[in-house]
């Protein structure tokens, strides 16, 4: 399939829209939330976020015995119609931000996974949810400044595989090596408020990119999705790979089956909310010029269902 490059400014827009990273001067006001201590984790959230989380945990509690991927899909469906809003994680200093009222594609997937793990782990609570989300969002589960956040999905999937949260399984499903040089953030620091303000952060991000570039990544090309679709599971978290320079992944979502076919459930900037794609995943990707395939993160159950 012939693919064309899009202008770099549009690439920046796609990245910021999907992964919650701001363009210059795009940092939103902090909002009403304040940093609060909750158990072992400090986080910023509003009471509405706590209420949403606790209601979801209560509703999902009867399904605690299910595999965690099925719980991810259940949580994802509970977020349907939630408004899409980018950049909700950005603050002047790095802190665990909880916003269940507004989601982008990455925070949507992270929150669903954290809720699913909280339910499956037993004795679900808001405090436990905060611990799970921090463990998922940050390198080795440790929040230590802006560079500790797993900004690139290809890095997110590798680190969460190492932590035993997901299985990075494109290779085992019959995928192919993905040859990309990852450098978008360090080569476009003006597009990120924190990087634009602090050159030392750019150097740290550049070192992380160099580490990523030493790894062998795998993906399932669009051309192979038809023959491999039956191997995909409801609740798999996928990163849509891209031909855009400097990036491996441009969008993130959760897989669900509709009438026996795999579809994408995601926080869509185009729809302005969380939706399930009208077309199959294969058709969805074929309609996007820069989409090349998917990386697959399969959630790992914390205990045998």
Beta bridge partners of 254: 237, 265
Cα-flanking dihedrals φ and ψ of residue 263, to 5°?
-125, 170
Nearest-5° Cα angle at 247, 157 to 287: 95
Q: How confident is the model at residue 12 (pLDDT cuts 50, 70, 90)?
A: very low
Give the three-state DSSP class for 195.
Answer: helix
Burial class of residue 105 (count of CB atoms within 10 Å of its CB; 0-12, 13-18, 19+): buried
Mean pLDDT (whole number) for 167-186: 97
73, 252 Cβ separation under 8 angstroms:
no
Residue 40 pLDDT grade (very low, low, confident, very high; cuts 50, 70, 90) = confident
Binned at pLDDT 50, 70 and 90, residue 302 comes out as confident
Kindly report the CATH number that applies to the domain delimited by 8-299: 1.10.3670.10
Domain boundaries, the chain: 8-299
φ, ψ of residue 42 to 5 degrees: the values are: -95, 135
Q: 136 pLDDT band (50/70/90 cuts)? A: very high
pLDDT level of residue 14 (50, 70, 90 thresholds) = very low
226-268: per-residue pLDDT in tens? Answer: 999 999 999 999 999 999 999 999 999 999 999 999 999 999 9
Residue 254 exposure: Cα atoms within 13 Å on the Cβ side: 34
Residue 176 has pLDDT above 70, yes or no: yes
> Across-strand partners of 237?
254, 297
Q: Which neighbouring-strand residues pair with 258?
A: 261
CB 193 within 8 A of CB 22: yes
């Amino acid at each position: 399939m012939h693919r064309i490059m899009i202008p770099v400014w549009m690439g920046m827009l796609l990245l910021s829209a999907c992964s919650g990273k701001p363009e210059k001067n795009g940092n939103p006001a902090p909002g009403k939330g304040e940093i609060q201590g909750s158990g072992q984790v400090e986080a910023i959230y509003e009471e509405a976020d706590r209420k949403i989380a606790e209601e979801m945990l209560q509703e999902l509690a009867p399904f605690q015995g299910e595999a965690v991927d099925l719980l991810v899909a259940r949580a994802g469906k509970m977020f349907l119609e939630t408004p899409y809003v980018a950049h909700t994680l950005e603050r002047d200093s790095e802190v665990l931000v909880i916003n269940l009222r507004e989601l982008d594609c990455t925070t949507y997937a992270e929150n669903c996974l954290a809720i699913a793990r909280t339910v499956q782990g037993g004795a679900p609570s808001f405090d436990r949810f905060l611990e799970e989300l921090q463990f998922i969002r940050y390198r080795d589960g440790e929040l230590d400044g802006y560079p500790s956040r797993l900004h690139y999905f290809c890095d997110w999937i590798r680190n969460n595989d190492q932590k035993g949260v997901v299985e990075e399984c494109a290779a085992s499903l019959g995928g192919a090596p993905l040859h990309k040089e990852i450098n978008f953030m360090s080569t476009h620091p003006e597009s990120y408020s924190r990087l634009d303000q602090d050159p030392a952060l750019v150097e740290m991000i550049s070192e992380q990119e160099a580490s990523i570039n030493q790894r062998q990544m795998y993906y399932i090309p669009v051309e192979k999705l038809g023959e491999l679709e039956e191997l995909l599971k409801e609740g798999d978290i996928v990163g849509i790979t891209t031909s855009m320079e400097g990036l491996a992944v441009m969008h993130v979502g959760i897989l669900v089956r509709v009438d026996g076919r795999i579809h994408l459930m995601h926080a869509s900037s185009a729809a302005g909310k969380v939706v399930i794609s009208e077309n199959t995943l294969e058709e969805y990707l074929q309609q996007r010029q820069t989409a090349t395939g998917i990386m697959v993160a399969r959630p790992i159950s914390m205990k045998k269902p």
